[in-house]
Amino acid sequence: MNKVFKWSGGVLLCASMPLMAEEPPKLPNANVDVNVSIASNYVFRGQDMYANRFVQKRQAFDSINQSPSLQPSITFKTPVDGLTFNILGAFALAGRGDKDIDQRIQNARPAGNNADATSANSIVAQTLVDMHTGTAGSFHSILDGKLQTLQGGTKWPTTSIAATNAPNLYKDPNGLERADEIDLTLGYSSSTRVGVIGFGVVTYNYVNPKAKGNPFAQNPGGGAGSPYYFGTEMFVTYALPMFPDLTAKAYHDIVNSNQYYQLVYSKTIAINDKVSVGVTTGPSYSIVSNQYSLTGAGALNQTNVVQDTQQTVQGWKDWTSNVSVILGGLTVGLNAAYRPDLRFYDSDLATNRVVALDGQSTMDDGLVNDPSKVGNGLASDLVQLFVNSNQRVLALNPRYAWTPRQKLPKWIYWANVGYTATF
């Protein structure tokens, strides 16, 4: 009897053991922060990423650009303390599609990045100028000759359809959807006895097919990164233990030699239990190198850049500041970016002021084509062509090209509102 009892007890004990082992283990701590923000403009390191909105509106570049941007963000805080992965997007909410601004008859829409062809001058405007300067023939005969030249002089069925251009009023490549972006950041940060140390990698990606580029492709000048490549950077951050709110940051592009250094002061001040104010500000110093390709070995063109040489722009790029009011998960902020060195934002390549003899400008003067007066229709083309015609005679320079220009704004302002939830 005792043996039976002991054996039965053993069975009961063994039967209870699997029930205890099946209890699930505790999962490591981790959470996800989800933020959805809307900004009145998208500005990155002082660069107005939606500047083409001024072109679409035929307006001069200004400090305030009313081009709203949807900027969602997801941050995964991993079980490893200090290790995070962030996905940040920026998507234009206005002016997304390309728009025909110059109203010029163009020969065709070429392949590659869906960019549109651009003619040197309006065909109609040039016809009127030719008549004014004494070209023989009627308006229609001169115009027809120019259209045939634009078509390559031959038409279908003399040549194949594939080889025949089609003059038309094509759209210009100015849609803000070309700047749609998703950034991926893997970072680590830890507080130590010598300060707060962080490092990681971030990649900036154009997601629209019209602006995608291969970071490892060789551009025509021999440099790394195709023309539409944005950036892939390694970064390091550091804050002294006695100044944890002041952080030094260094970003180095792993594809080319571009560098960006930033000193950021960031502080959140509690007003009461529910409301706080955040302040972020700091200057940046940047080094940007570009490589250009010219026709003919060792040639020197009007931009004064020798073939296969690098032109480096180096200096203080931007001082960006933000003041935000935080109420629970809701954030409302005002932002300003001061741009002390406009060479980083000037689209001109020339550096020698002598090019002014041909009516050109340099990257040092901060002057760019004024979208309200250049390439926005027949009237602006007529004014530009007539001025060019007269100036070339007065200056005895057939290469002179007059272009209305404006000074780039040194300040850019925008606002943002967003909400953050933690799961």
Among 77-86, 159-168, 201-210, 264-273, the range scoring the smallest mean pLDDT is 159-168
Which of 67-71, 149-153, 384-388 has the lowest average pLDDT? 149-153
The 10s digit of each residue's pLDDT in 214-232 is: 666 655 444 555 666 788 9
Region 343-347: mean pLDDT is: 90
Res. 119 pLDDT band, cuts 50 70 90: very low
23-27, 163-167, 226-230: which range is least confident on average? 163-167
Q: CB-based contacts of 135: which residues, under 8 Å, 6+ apart?
A: 142
Q: How confident is the model at residue 277, as a pLDDT?
A: 97
Query: Region 35-57: what's the mean pLDDT?
Result: 96
| Mean pLDDT of the 379-398 span | 73
pLDDT of 247 higher than 50: yes
Residues 181-192 have a mean pLDDT of 95
Looking at residue 411, what is its pLDDT? Answer: 98
pLDDT at 321 over 70: yes
Torsion angles phi and psi, residue 46, rounded to 5: 85, -10
Look at the pTM and tell me if it is higher than 0.85: no
* Mean pLDDT rounded to a whole number for the chain: 79
- The top-scoring range by mean pLDDT among 193-202, 216-225, 386-395 is 193-202
Q: Which one of 13-27, 191-205, 219-233, 377-391 scores highest in mean pLDDT? A: 191-205
Per-residue model confidence (pLDDT) at position 142 = 60
Among the ranges given (184-193, 214-223, 228-237, 339-348), the one the predictor scored with the smallest mean pLDDT:
214-223
